[in-house]
Amino acid sequence: MTKASASQDISPAQCPRPFVTVDLVIFTLREGQLQVLLMQRAVPPFEGMWALPGGYVRPDEDESLDGAAARILGSKTAVATPYIEQLQGFGNARRDPRGWTATFAYFALIASEQLALQSGANAEDVAWHPVETRPVLAFDHDLILRTGLERLRGKVEYTILPAHLLPAKFTLPDLQSVYEQILDRRLDKSAFRKKMADAGLLEPVPGEMRHASNRPSQLYRIRSDATPFLGRTI
């Protein structure tokens, strides 16, 4: 272990090239529960076990990491413009029995109205699972999933990211319920509404209300000019 070999200026020929993948933690809200998209593996290792959707990055096609993540997301779900961000990298010799691998994990939120799974050869092997009752996962995917959950909970505290988990039109009680679901605690109604109003990222849909067997509630949508700011601190 010489210092020279640690340098970035090692000759490319000497450099070992590991496998590099992108794995996705895709959350949605179904049946009032936070759910995650999983795939059942058809081949070893971990054949038959559930795993996060993922795939190899394609250096040969000039694909960026973000591009690979978007491609994989699009190949599993029918989603137009979801929220996606890089989560964290994982790389060591033990995460895959075949040897050293590295993955860039991504974190995505899907609106519940858009969670139709992409039809295809393997569509039947893709399914939503409630996070609470998820199966044991292949590789180190449980660690990655828990990292994604922490990120989600952390960001919910000070952003309006959870709006991405709802359909395009939603009520403020809907949104508050999502927050409470993710944080696992009750929130104060007036403080919540004030915070949302102050953030200025939502707007009421004029004249549109949701009717149930009680007082109707105003429908809101994300302001069209606000999409880039949903992940910002509010």
Phi-psi region of 48 (alpha: psi -120 to 50; beta: other; left: phi over 0): left
Per-position x/- string for 45-84, each x denoting binding to a second copy as judged by CB under 8 A, each - no binding: ------x-xxxxxxxxxxxxx-x---xx--x---------
Q: Which residues contact 178 (CB under 8 A, 6 or more apart)?
A: 29, 162, 165, 166
Q: What is the largest CA-CA distance in the chain?
A: 74
**Least Å from the CB of residue 175 to DNA:** 10
**Least Å from the CB of residue 164 to DNA:** 20
What is the signed CA dihedral for 142, 144, 146, 147, rounded to 10 degrees?
170
Instruction: Kindly tell me which of 82 and 171 has the beta carbon lying closer to a second copy.
Output: 82
188 binds DNA (CB under 7 A): yes
| Residue found under tokens 């272990």 | 1
One-letter amino acid of 212: A
DSSP, res 77: B
212 binds DNA (CB under 7 A): yes
| List 2, 81, 213, 233, residue binding DNA (CB under 7 A) | 213
Instruction: Kindly tell me which of 8 and 213 has the beta carbon lying closer to a second copy.
Output: 8
Task: Copy the structure tokens of residue 114.
Answer: 């858009």
Residues of the shown chain interacting with a second copy in the complex, contacts defined by CB under 8 A: 1, 3-4, 6-10, 12, 15-21, 41-43, 51, 53-65, 67, 71-72, 75, 86, 88-93, 98-100, 102, 104, 120-122
> In the complex, which residues of this chain contact DNA (CB under 7 A)?
171-173, 187-191, 193-195, 209, 211-218
